[in-house]
Chain A
């Protein structure tokens, strides 16, 4: 667990963590009662079976006719079928409910993640979040279906068995020979956490070895180049020895438990044999009752073992629930106001005295930024990394929530514009990272559209200078890219991301946040020319490190330390002889100097 959520985990209490489960259980209270009833009645039939065998024994001893005896046989078959059918049904019913709960919980978790802001995903690794969906959710389900079935079955089976033995066999025999069996749940409850713990430690050591193998085989060239094989083998030996030690420790507890449990139940059996035998000899109970009793003893071992495991399972589930609940408790930092606007006319951008600081930082990312951007403007943003360009652009689409009344689009405070309108219709944003999904190139380009029109996708691809590449791919735009598909170069990825943003044709504001850093200069010029052409009344904001990308802009904003220090056109800024002019000089051809 990362440190970030420790405080969050503590805030979720044990009781509240179970509310997720209670909620579901309450909703399905009828179904659970029904299934519980089915299992209970199944147990009533199950405990008839030893009784039938006992009666059969007595009938044999009496010398009843074969026909009479076959009644017992049929009775047994009948009870067995009723028990198996009912128990199987109840078990499946509850197990299915548990799986429904699991799917529902996972859906909730995912839906919640979608509402959370980038900040959250910066703090938590994907692997960490995934482990909740993979491990914690099924652990909770296990408690809800597995444990429910076990508890219901065990309780009713034990109760029914006790009823039968006390009533039909002998109360004294029951009490005397059952007492050792009562140790079983205690032993299991004490030992099973240890078993779990040790199994966990074996798993950890295996994954340590796996990680070690990965990093050393990945660095095999280095190891060879430094003749470091002996050291690596020495370290690997240590890893493997840890596995052996931990495995044997786990084997120890496992086999010990496997030895103790049969031993305890056999003690019960010895008592039953001697004391029960004595009762038969002295004619206190019948031989049939003795036979039935030995069968009842055997029936009890499993439910008692299961009862012992219940606390352990619940503890595991509880830890998982707390983790899940604390995730669900994380509040999204950006969300729609209740009176959010769903329609925006016009798209002038107006920024008034905007200052902004990231939640965990001490220094402002933006300080007192004011700017009016009329519609149809091509605006360039330049400055060093961390100067505030990207922050401003990200605030425009509310990746982080800007202060109230500071950023206006089309006469509305962006905080009042509904997110689907702002991000889905008004603004098209291309970030530096150019993340692509492992779908086809066409699906990636059409991503912003609910039902992508092939023509729109094609046009967007052409505009982003992607068409030539697409033509070369094995299935053109239908080629799967990323993960298991064709790997694209950095520039190609960025152009695909650009095409994706361009396919959102309704967008009135287009933002390129350093989105062409890996694109070569020629293509970049072609793209800038395309943007010029495409512009119309669209407003285009381009943040770049390269002067060439913004040279033709109507307005260039120069950022430094969170402030706009210069603003104007390329010519006017060159004339000013300030920061921009120096930057332009450094970046001009045939000139050596140091990068910023």
Chain B
């Protein structure tokens, strides 16, 4: 059976935008309501100058005015002043809440989708990029609602309603005042470009400055050891000056822009005065109308300015939406079989499986031309302890991916309990097979949560007994808050050996039937080494254990050792058998014992790691230029 080829370029029925548009559908009513509130709010904005106009023309300029009329107008004005802010509050609130609800949904869908994508996707996409998708791209999409829609809706309506009111009051003067709109728009667009460019320059100068400081702070030891402080200070000074210059230029543009708008506002008022005075003198235009026009014309400026700002918001939101959509349309369920086998679980929720693993002529390559695995066959009986050795690039890690089904074989088959792994549901196969990786991922949280991986169905007692079985209990108890000590992925609060033991505890608590262990390459201090070996002996009891071994001591007592080279199994058998054969295995063992002075227990340079037995295991403070960014050890 050939599984379907997994590529992200598969043609999909929905485009990214259609996929995202569907999120807004549920909120169409609310959005309509928001539009109504926007109109209401704008009506109160437009009506207020009109009320003053009425007051001036009908009360103040009349020979026999009535105070009661004035109070009436004042009361209407007050009403508008109450309704306006309320409507504004309402439209803001509802729009934001719709935006947040949609973005929440997008974030959850995106995250769940990402986690369900096949491993191959993560080989092709950098994690940093994906984090940007989850965090920044979704934020930009939310700005589409909170900034773009708000501005275009509210401010667009303001402009339209103000123009309408002007035309209704006096169409001739309205036409004159409309001349202001293109000018304001032109100035805004012109400055917007300059502002953006100068802002971007400032930002890039700033990031260069920060990079410079970060690097110098990390390398302060070297700077001081060679007394090069003046040289580095000079380097800093030139970056600092460059940033200052860019910053001042940016500020200059901002001042120029704001003051130009100020001036334009006053010129627009002067234009109204100049254009309207003749008509007022001729009695063809009531003075109140001129007053209203003077107020209205200033109301063009803010909305036009904010709308021009939104162009960038829209663009970046569209780009982000496209990126998110691209991920969402990548099929995630390619590895799910159409007719999965049913796996039964015992009363404790552990999968019932013997743990027998068989590889039948397995071949694999990321592309058809380069085969990483060729014709690999293994029969691993239930409960066996098996070692796999070989040089870097021999295909050991790929083998893990096949058995745990992170990838699909391109030839042959992997069977667990006699069933092809491709017929298991992903969630089932990973309950049966679990992998302890070389690098132990830690999560922000307590030690206990790191062991049970935040699962709520795993009790405190289970965590403790797993830790005890894994030999981790001792060091955990010595931590400041024991099992409640908080860990972080970047923190070096655990040594390599301790991390290893923690990972074993994880594997125990999960009760997998097949455990694949990618042994840590770096050296452990002797005490931890012994602990790890003892722990390994302990956890391999009663389950099938496959170890990608980097240490001789680990596999010496293995039931069977598979020696891999160039994607093939070249030898297999117990340690003694293989040594007696004087083949590849025997050569490997001899080579490492002979060449490295101190590194007895370690195979030679397989992973290009330096072996230094005297070095203590806790991660050294790395000399990385950007330590706040680094994930792993230096």
Contact = CB atoms under 8 A, between A and B. Distances in A.
A433 B620 contact: yes
A594 B506 CA distance: 29
B379 interface: no
Contacts of B608: 489
B131 to A, nearest CB: 5
Contacts of A581: none
A57 interface: yes
A357 to B, nearest CB: 20
A91 B257 CA distance: 12
B529 to A, nearest CB: 8
A233 interface: yes
Contact of B598 (A61, A113, A595): A595
A113 B112 CA distance: 45
Given A217-B127, A247-B100, A594-B526, A255 B92 contact: yes
Contact of B625 (A102, A110, A438, A518): A438
Interface residues of B, number: 148
24 contacts: A63-B281, A72-B273, A92-B252, A103-B243, A111-B233, A114-B220, A133-B210, A213-B111, A213-B134, A217-B127, A218-B489, A224-B404, A255-B88, A258-B92, A260-B85, A266-B81, A270-B78, A278-B67, A385-B614, A420-B227, A435-B623, A518-B610, A587-B598, A592-B593
Given A251-B92, A595-B613, A263 B85 contact: yes
Interface string A227-250: 111011101110011011001100
A244 B631 CA distance: 28
A277 B135 contact: no
A214 interface: yes
B600 A76 contact: no
B88 A259 contact: yes
Contact of B60 (A224, A247, A287, A447): A287
Interface stretch (A119-127, A321-329, A345-353): A119-127
B288 to A, nearest CB: 10
A567 B406 CA distance: 57
Contact of B227 (A232, A419, A589): A419
Nearest to A483: B625
Contact of A222 (B441, B523, B596, B600): B441
A555 B470 CA distance: 46
Nearest to A450: B231
A229 to B, nearest CB: 5
A490 B615 CA distance: 15
A107 B533 CA distance: 54
B100 A448 contact: no
A55 to B, nearest CB: 11
Interface stretch (A204-212, A306-314, A455-463, A557-565): A204-212
Nearest to A438: B625
Interface in A64-78: 66, 69-70, 72-73, 76-77
Contact of B628 (A84, A125, A229): A125
A268 B374 CA distance: 85
A217 B131 contact: yes
Contacts of A210: 131, 134-135
Interface in B489-512: 489, 506, 510
Interface stretch (A2-10, A533-541, A545-553, A570-578): A545-553
Given A227-B430, A229-B112, A277-B60, A240 B104 contact: yes
Interface of B: 48, 51-52, 55-56, 59-61, 65, 67, 70-71, 73-74, 77-78, 80-82, 84-86, 88-89, 92-93, 96-97, 100-101, 104, 107-108, 111-112, 114-116, 119, 122, 127, 130-131, 134-135, 139, 206, 210-211, 213-229, 231-233, 236-237, 240-241, 243-244, 247-248, 251-252, 255-256, 258-260, 262-263, 266-267, 269-270, 273-274, 277-278, 280-281, 287, 290-291, 294, 404, 406, 426-428, 430-431, 433-435, 437, 441, 443-444, 453-456, 489, 506, 510, 523, 525-526, 593-598, 600, 605, 608, 610, 612-616, 620-623, 625-628, 631
A482 interface: yes
Given A107-B237, A424-B228, A437-B215, 12 more contacts: A57-B291, A81-B263, A92-B255, A99-B248, A130-B210, A133-B213, A225-B437, A233-B112, A251-B93, A274-B74, A278-B70, A590-B594
Nearest to B64: A281
Given A504-B226, A589-B597, A76 B266 contact: yes
A215 interface: yes
Contacts of B71: 274
Interface in A265-296: 266-267, 269-270, 273-274, 277-278, 280-281, 287, 290-291, 294
Contacts of A222: 435, 437, 441
A518 B523 CA distance: 13
Interface in A118-153: 118, 121-122, 125-127, 129-130, 133-134
A255 B458 CA distance: 44
Between B78, B116, B122, B216, the greatest number of chain A beta carbons within 10 A of the residue's beta carbon is seen for B78
Given A213-B111, A438-B215, A448-B226, A548 B597 contact: yes
A219 B441 contact: yes
B176 to A, nearest CB: 14
Nearest to B597: A587
Contacts of A423: 224-227
Contact of B229 (A61, A114, A218, A592): A114
Nearest to A544: B614
Contact of B85 (A223, A262, A489): A262
B259 A88 contact: yes
A115 B506 CA distance: 46
Contact of B620 (A244, A247, A266, A432): A432
A313 B12 CA distance: 52
A272 B97 CA distance: 37
B222 to A, nearest CB: 5
A364 to B, nearest CB: 19
B244 A227 contact: no
Contacts of A95: 251, 255
Contact of A226 (B89, B280, B510, B620): B510
Interface string A427-464: 01101111111100000000110100000000000000
B621 A87 contact: no
A202 to B, nearest CB: 11
B217 A134 contact: no
A588 interface: yes
A221 B437 CA distance: 9
Given A53-B269, A80-B266, A237-B108, A447 B228 contact: yes
Contact of A255 (B93, B231, B623): B93
A376 interface: no
Contacts of A274: 70-71, 74
A543 to B, nearest CB: 11
Contacts of A61: 61, 287
Given A103-B244, A224-B430, A277 B236 contact: no
Nearest to B598: A587
Contact of B621 (A209, A235, A433): A433
B208 to A, nearest CB: 11
Contact of A69 (B86, B277, B595, B622): B277
Contacts of B130: 213, 217
Contact of A545 (B81, B107, B435, B614): B614
Contacts of A528: none
Interface in A396-429: 397, 399, 419-420, 422-425, 428-429
A226 B269 contact: no
A287 B60 CA distance: 8
A256 interface: yes
Contacts of A130: 210, 213-214, 217, 628
A87 B266 contact: no
A270 B139 contact: no
Contacts of B115: 216, 220, 223-224, 229, 232-233
A37 interface: no
A85 B86 CA distance: 38
